[in-house]
Amino acid sequence: QKEVEQDPGPLSVPEGAIVSLNCTYSNSAFQYFMWYRQYSRKGPELLMYTYSSGNKEDGRFTAQVDKSSKYISLFIRDSQPSDSATYLCAMSVSGAGSYQLTFGKGTKLSVIP
């Protein structure tokens, strides 16, 4: 079992829909939880990160972390064609003076006009 599991999709939604993207993980030591957006042939860019459990909102994006269920989500409201990209979850844990960032496989999202 991989440490971070993410459904690769693809996921196709109409413009204006609410999108829900999810990851599960097995390592209860993970402390920080991130979501990245990666456009085709580009590097990932950080959308947001959260520490421990809870919600965080940034514009149309909301990240949720449920550590008891080892489950994280990213919600996109009023989705736009420009949101079409691959969304990667990632998690980190520190220890012995260093840290490890572990990525999911990514979910490919298409928002249809």
Partner 1 sequence: EAEVAQSPRYKITEKSQAVAFWCDPISGHATLYWYRQILGQGPELLVQFQDESVVDDSQLPKDRFSAERLKGVDSTLKIQPAELGDSAMYLCASSLSGQGITGELFFGEGSRLTVL
Q: HEC string of the chain?
A: CCCEEECCCCEEEECCCCEEEEEEECCCCCCEEEEEEECCCCCCEEEEEEECCEEEEECCEEEEEECCCCEEEEEECCCCHHHCEEEEEEEEEEECCEEEEEECCCEEEEEEC
Query: Is the Cβ of residue 31 or residue 55 nearer to partner 1 in the bound state?
Result: 31
Which of positions 34-93 make contact with partner 1 (CB under 8 A)?
A: 34, 36, 41-46, 49, 51, 88, 90, 92
Quick check: 21 binds partner 1 (CB under 8 A)?
A: no
Chain residues in the site for partner 1 (CB under 8 A):
4, 6, 8, 31-32, 34, 36, 41-46, 49, 51, 88, 90, 92, 94, 98-101, 103-106
